[in-house]
Amino acid sequence: MRKTWLIFSQAVTVAVAVLFVIATLKPQWLQRAQNSRLLPDAVSVAPVMPVVGGGVAPSGYSAAARTAAPAVVSIAASKAMSRHPHGEDPWFRFFFGDRNQQQLQPQVGLGSGVIVSADGYLLTNNHVIEGAADIEVQLADGRQARAKLVGTDPETDVAVLKIALDKLPVVRVGNVQQLQVGDVVLAIGNPFNVGQTVTSGIVSALGRNQLGINTFENFIQTDAAINPGNSGGALVDVNGNLVGINTAIFSRTGGSLGIGFAIPADIAHQVMDGLIREGRVTRGWIGVEPRDLTPEFAENFKLPVRQGVLITGVLQDGPASKGGMRPGDVVVKIGEQPVNNTAQLLNAVAALKPKSDAVIGVQRGDKALELKVRVAQRPAPQPAKRDEP
């Protein structure tokens, strides 16, 4: 037994010595042997995807891009500049020439759009085509067409166009309600007019509001790169389904800083349906000026509620005024729906049907009241300036 152990110890010692010599003088021999052992395992864990017809394809989002990109278009909206107000004055013409009589070159705004119907209906942003005299659409396959403006909704920044072309590619509308923070999304559009571009990111937040961009805000926030020219383009999920219409970015430089916003596709689709059917979006209105209830106000006036919307002004002879609402009231619910901030109040009132009666719960001092208000049609908004994109 002792002899066997001695032989084993000597063999191990010799083997270690040989390994040390090889590692010192010929280390490449060991590296080559190690690579030959690791190669099969490395290949086996590499991500591959089978494709029809044999072979493999790399993983990624190319399938989603191929599905959605054909339905994303580039939009050129031109607005002719007006003639000079003194262009017909002989003295003006004498000093400045006849060229001032002629109409100046049109201004051209660039953006993107998404084909959502085989009939030729497109979704884009209102600020892309606002004030345009001529709208040209170019498809990803190179075809071009003049677009007809179906209608706009400045309060959500949605516009609907229509083009007359055959065999149009159409994007599928996804289920926005299933979208979650962290989901991968792709932004497709024509930034800076460089051509159709696909960028990727994740859903950074949902339900963003009170940003001062639109009247009605319920944005999807994403870090997918969105730049000027992407406005009106598509935000799609990993299956190529439309989940949003890219509309705005937060930027100090004019370019993407990783904070972009998209209008949820279901809201854009609802607006489109209203514009196609009636030429406008029907929303409720009660004629009040709201602001968020602050803890300081609630404490100073000894209110028994801490959440709600403070009414700072009531339009004379408006629906709320006729229903008995007063400045200083705190709206706590619309029907059975609680309201905790101004955005919720606007959305809840907008969802009411004009010419219907709504029961609005308010807190007036230490009294809880229920007011019956006859809802009116929300007036058309006044045009306002807006920053790109």
**Around Cβ 27, how many Cβ atoms within 10 Å?**
10
Query: 235 burial class (0-12, 13-18, 19+ CB within 10 angstroms)?
Result: buried
Q: Which of 231, 251, 256, 329 is catalytic?
A: 231
> What string of DSSP letters covers 157-208?
TEEEEE---SS---PPB--GGG--TT-EEEEEE-GGGS--EEEEEEEEEEEE
Q: Which of 74, 112, 127, 256 is catalytic?
A: 127
Active-site residue flag, 134? no
Cα 75 to Cα 188, 200, 235, 236, 306, distances in angstroms = 13, 22, 17, 19, 47
- What are the φ/ψ torsions at residue 86 (nearest 5 degrees)? -105, 20
DSSP classification of residue 69 = G
Distance from C-alpha of 29 to C-alpha of 236, rounded to nearest angstrom: 51
Active-site residue flag, 256? no
Q: Which of 112, 153, 157, 237 is catalytic?
A: 157
Q: Which long-range contacts (CB under 8 A, 24 or more apart) does 341-345 make?
A: 341/210, 341/292, 341/309, 342/210, 342/290, 342/291, 342/292, 342/309, 343/209, 343/210, 343/217, 344/309, 345/290, 345/309
Active-site residue flag, 36? no
**Around Cβ 136, how many Cβ atoms within 10 Å?**
17
| Residues carrying an active site annotation | 127, 157, 231
